[in-house]
A and B are shown apart, each in its own frame.
Chain A
Amino acid sequence: MDNCGKATLSRKCDRKQKRCQHIIEKETGIKCTLMASKCIAICNAGLVNGLSEETVYENFIQYGSIDNITMLPGKSCCFVRYKDIEAATRAFDNINGKLNIAQNSKPIYLTYVENIPSPDPIYQNTLPTGLIIIEDFVTDTEENMLLELCNFNELENGSMKHRQVRHFGYEFRYDINNVDKDKPLKEDIPHQCDILWEKLKLEGIDFVPDQLTVNCYKPGQGIPPHIDTHSAFEDPIISLSLGSSVVMNFKNEDVNIPVILPKRSLAIMSSESRYAWLHGITPRKLDIIPTQNDLSVIHRTTRVSYTFRKVRKGECDCQYTQYCDSHAKKLKSKSNSIKNDVAMQLETAHVYDVYDVIALHFSDTRCKPWPNVMKFLYSLQPGSILVDVGCGNGKYLRCIENVFSVGCDRSFGLAEVAGQRGFEVFSCNCLNIPIRDNSADGCISIAVIHHLANEERRLQAIKEMARILKVGGKCLIYVWARDQIRNQEKTFYLKQDRKNRKESSTAVQEQSPENVTVTGDVTLPVHVNRTQFQDQDLLVPWKLRAENTPDNKENTFLRFYHVFEEGELEALCSQLDYIKIVKHYYDQGNWCCIFEKIKKD
């Protein structure tokens, strides 16, 4: 390069520098100086235009020891402080305008500065609330033993874009961000891990997980910031770091806390840190951690993390609702479903009032106890107290000797029929059962809660039944199923149609269903009897022949039904953690569930 060219370069540097110095002073309050100093600012590159701390470190460390690198979020400049002026001068002379690490591989321009911005408060030593790091949780021997359990070199599948991964107990599905709770894997958590729960116990933590995800990170690999799906796993989540230390970033709103996870340490994420903080690992080959007056650097090697979690049964009810998928789901279903006041009007007009009118005729059609309900009743111990919620005409109340049975029904008409037959009955709504907590040994509710018009109310009814049960007491619930054909077999309900009996095909609705505005702005389809259900919320006609009506005129009454999808009843029951589902099955067009109360609610 000739002299003229050199001069041009120098002038260009000067001009750039001047402009940048001005910006640095304005934006950070740091004064630039023409005198050599320990502190250098990179004027035209920073976090905002893609310069990483790692790159700065790698290039600047060549000229001497550095005691701080400060990258400011959202800024296009950054700062390096050397231990001595000599090193800083060497770096300045070799790098300024020559090192092409700015955006689009342009050179970076430097200036000496009087000092560097005070360390960001994010680098303080406070951990996110609920996060505990136990160093040296396993010994070297244990580390090797655990690493050998899961040899990734032999693994061909299960490789993610950024890392290799393997699951035990349950598979975590990244497509749905959840686990298949009904499909446990054949491979349980290896028993060698049991030592970990014993160690945890010594720390005063009682935690035995049922799901393990093993991740293998090569240097340069990472995991995007995330919060583990609330509904998938319980609190806490624990993660063991093997093979290499790493910095994990915890982020909540605009607070970012880098946390060192040393090799052989255990990170316990509980409460806020589990529910409300994103955590992730930046893909890079080394982590730079500012200490009090120095920089410490972790050169990453292959790191294997064992993350242990406990699959959540039911939904999450944490207080960190803005991060909670269960909460979002609840809100969504609430806004989609029939509002409570409308539901009440609907139930009154299209359930209670109808049953009051059709009570006698209805009762005449309800004589034969269902065998599987009887089987449940026979399983009760002599001297048991049984409550039949929605007892109708009371056909199950005197089925078995030696059991004290009481029934209740919201329909006065039906309660009266049962009362006249000599049964112990009272009138009540199943949303508020006037029975003491923990007092019944058994409870049945046959074809009742499908008359409740929204999910909140159906769940409330189940809660009430669970509440009145003693611990150890069992409850059987039957609801009408949307699907009236299982395993190619039509239910009795469909077969009762003459057409269905003859033909091999199911009667399908030929005309589009009639819709009826029931109350407020709710319009529901009217079901055609003896056909498959077309909707979940619908009105089912009950025809009363002329001889059965008070005014001797044939009349049709519409009853509200919510017919259940497969799994829906179970999902409702499993929202309560104080009950355990003993059995669920399909029985002649009904979904059925038996649950046991396992602790007080």
Chain B
Amino acid sequence: MLTSKCMKGVNIGYPLKIKAVDLKESEVDFNPDFISRIIPKLDWTVLISAANSIGKNENLPENLLPEYEKNTEFLKRVHHVLLEIDVVNGELICPESGRKFPINNGIPNMILNEDEV
């Protein structure tokens, strides 16, 4: 969902590449209904490549499974990747300009300098 499109000279700025230094895994209550409603709002390919880039694929398939809303096992894995893994320290990188946005304490700093907008 995050993009660097606001930057001058960047057309799409999506998806941002992720470079993870520290990861944190935590436990969040699993809500299958919520997850199956969120899935159609995701760009699945982007999610998979993001998960791959931080080495947390959790065996998610390249293509979205049919009737995933009935597949609790699958939903659990999506839940884990989506909600339970946080990049504590790292970077988000604009695919076009290479601009790096630092992540500190789990908070990406997306503030642009005046000359970047």
Contacts and interface: CB of A to CB of B under 8 A. Distances in A.
Interface string A417-457: 00110100111110111111101000000000000000000
Interface string A389-415: 000000000000110101010101001
Contacts of A420: 105
Contact of A426 (B2, B34, B36): B2
B44 interface: no
A426 B5 contact: no
Nearest to B28: A422
Contacts of B105: 416, 419-420
Interface string B17-37: 000000000100001011011
Contact of B107 (A404, A426, A429): A426
Interface residues of B, number: 26
Interface string A316-357: 000000000000000000000000000010000000000000
A42 interface: no
B1 A419 contact: no
B33 A436 contact: no
A434 B2 contact: yes
Contacts of B109: 412, 426-427
Contacts of A439: 1
A232 interface: no
A429 B116 CA distance: 13
B19 to A, nearest CB: 16
A436 B3 contact: yes
Contacts of B5: 434, 436-437
A410 B111 contact: yes
Contact of A402 (B1, B31, B117): B31
A383 B112 contact: no
Contacts of B14: 436
A425 B107 contact: yes
B41 A432 contact: no
Contacts of B111: 410, 427-429
Contacts of A428: 110-112
Nearest to B7: A432
B38 interface: yes
Contacts of A50: none
A426 B109 CA distance: 6
Contacts of B41: 383, 385, 404
Contacts of A429: 111-112
A437 B1 CA distance: 9
A130 interface: no
Contacts of B4: 434
B6 A432 contact: yes
B117 A432 contact: yes
B95 interface: no
A420 B106 CA distance: 9
Nearest to A439: B1
A496 to B, nearest CB: 33
A86 B17 CA distance: 94
B37 A383 contact: yes
Interface residues of A, number: 29
A382 interface: yes
B67 interface: no
A419 B106 contact: yes
Nearest to B107: A419
Nearest to A385: B41
A401 B34 contact: yes
B33 A435 contact: no
Contacts of A422: 26
A344 B6 contact: no
Contact of B31 (A385, A401, A427): A401
Contacts of A344: 114
A433 B106 contact: no
Interface in A358-391: 382-383, 385
Nearest to A437: B5
A439 B3 CA distance: 11
A265 to B, nearest CB: 49
A255 B72 CA distance: 76
Contacts of A426: 2, 107-110
Given A402-B31, A427-B109, A429-B111, A382 B1 contact: no
A419 B36 CA distance: 25
Contacts of A382: 33-34, 37
A416 B106 CA distance: 9
Contacts of B36: 383
A408 B107 CA distance: 9
Given A401-B31, A426-B107, A385 B1 contact: yes
A404 B1 CA distance: 12
A434 B6 contact: yes
A415 B102 CA distance: 14
A526 to B, nearest CB: 28
Contacts of B34: 382-383, 401-402, 404
Interface in B87-108: 101, 105-108
B2 A402 contact: no
B90 to A, nearest CB: 13
A600 to B, nearest CB: 15
A428 B3 CA distance: 12
B112 A402 contact: no
Nearest to A382: B37
Contact of B6 (A385, A410, A433): A433
A383 B34 CA distance: 6
A453 B13 CA distance: 29
A428 B110 CA distance: 5
Contact of A415 (B3, B101, B107, B114): B107
Contacts of A415: 107
B26 to A, nearest CB: 8
Given A382-B34, A404-B34, A435-B2, 12 more contacts: A383-B37, A383-B41, A385-B1, A402-B31, A408-B110, A412-B109, A419-B105, A434-B5, A434-B6, A435-B3, A436-B5, A436-B14
9 contacts: A401-B31, A420-B105, A426-B2, A431-B117, A432-B6, A432-B112, A434-B3, A435-B1, A439-B1
Name the 6 nearest CB pairs between A and B, nearest first: A383-B37, A432-B6, A428-B110, A434-B110, A426-B108, A427-B109
Interface of A: 344, 382-383, 385, 401-402, 404, 406, 408, 410, 412, 415-416, 419-420, 422, 425-429, 431-437, 439
